[in-house]
Amino acid sequence: MKYRTLGRTGIEVSEIGYGAWGIGGIQWTGGGDEEARGALNLAIDNGLNFIDTALAYGDGHSERLAGEVARSRKERIYIATKVPPKNREWPARDVPLRQVFPRDYIIECTEQSLRNLGVETIDLQQLHVWHDNWTDESEWIDALLKLREQGKVRYFGLSLNDYQPWNAIKALRQGHIDAVQVIYNIFEQAPEDQLYLVCRELNVGVIARVPFDEGGLTGAIRPDTVFPRDDFRSWFFRGDRKQKVFDRVEKLKGLLGDEAASLPELALRYTLSHAAVNTVIPGMRTGNHVAANTSYSDGRRLSPGMLSRLKQSAWDRTGDW
CATH number, domain of 221, equals: 3.20.20.100
- What is the pairing mode between strands 122-127 and 78-83? parallel
pLDDT at 319: 67
- At 28 the pLDDT is 41
87 by Cβ neighbours in 10 Å (0-12 / 13-18 / 19+) ranks as middle
| Distance between CA atoms of residues 225 and 237, nearest Å | 9
Q: How many domains does the chain have?
A: 1
User: In this predicted structure, which of 26-30, 107-111, 152-156 has the lowest mean pLDDT?
Assistant: 26-30
d(CA 303, CA 215): 24
The chain-wide mean pLDDT, for the chain, equals 95
- Amino acid letter, 200: R
pLDDT of residue 123: 98
Check pLDDT > 60 for residue 209: yes
Range of the domain at 27: 3-311
> Is 33 contained in some domain?
yes
Phi and psi dihedrals of 157, rounded to 5? -145, 170
Query: Which pLDDT does position 247 carry in this prediction?
Result: 96
pLDDT over 60 at 84, yes or no: yes
Show Cβ contacts of residue 12 under 8 Å, excluding neighbours closer than 6 positions: 3, 4, 5, 6, 49
Residue 317 lies in a domain: no
Nearest to 253 by CA among 282, 279, 222: 222
β-pair type (205-209, 179-183): parallel
- Spell out the alpha helix ranges (H) of the chain: 33-45, 61-72, 103-117, 138-149, 169-174, 195-202, 232-236, 241-253, 263-272, 287-295, 304-311
d(CA 310, CA 120): 43
Q: What is the DSSP letter of 59?
A: T
Strands 205-209 and 279-280, bridge-based pairing: parallel
Higher model confidence: residue 236 or residue 269?
A: 269
Q: CA 48, 54, 60 angle in degrees (round to 5)?
A: 110
Distances (CA, A) of 150 to 75, 77, 118, 153, 272: 25, 21, 17, 8, 35
Residue 179 lies in a domain: yes
Mean pLDDT of 188-216: 97
Query: What digits encode the pLDDT tens for the residues 71-81?
Result: 999 999 999 99
Q: Quick check: is 321 in a domain?
A: no
Q: How far apart are CA 43 and CA 127, in angstroms?
A: 26
pLDDT in tens, 92-151: 999 999 999 999 999 999 999 999 999 999 999 999 999 999 999 999 999 999 999 999
Sheet with strand 153-159: strands edge to edge: 18-19, 50-52, 78-83, 122-127, 153-159, 179-183, 205-209, 279-280
Is position 231 within any domain?
A: yes
Average pLDDT over residues 240-250: 94
> What confidence score (pLDDT) does residue 239 get?
87
Range of lowest pLDDT (12-21, 142-151, 197-206, 221-230): 221-230
Tell me the average pLDDT across 193-218: 97
Q: Where are the alpha helices (H) located in 73-135, listed in sequence order?
A: 103-117
Does residue 96 lie within any of the structural domains? yes
Q: Report the C-alpha gap between 212 and 270 in whole angstroms.
A: 11
Tell me if 217 is assigned to some domain.
yes
Cα 160-36-121 angle, rounded to 5 deg: 55
pTM of the model: 0.96
Percentage of residues in the chain having pLDDT higher than 70: 97
Calculate mean pLDDT across residues 173-189: 97
Q: How far is CA 92 from CA 54, 64, 260, 261, in A?
A: 16, 26, 36, 38
Q: How confident is the model at residue 321 (pLDDT cuts 50, 70, 90)?
A: low
pLDDT band at 27 (very low <50, low <70, confident <90, very high): very low
Sequence-distant (6+) residues with CB within 8 A of 62 are 20, 21, 23, 24, 25, 53, 54
Question: Is 10 part of any domain?
Answer: yes
Which of 318 and 66 is assigned the larger pLDDT? 66
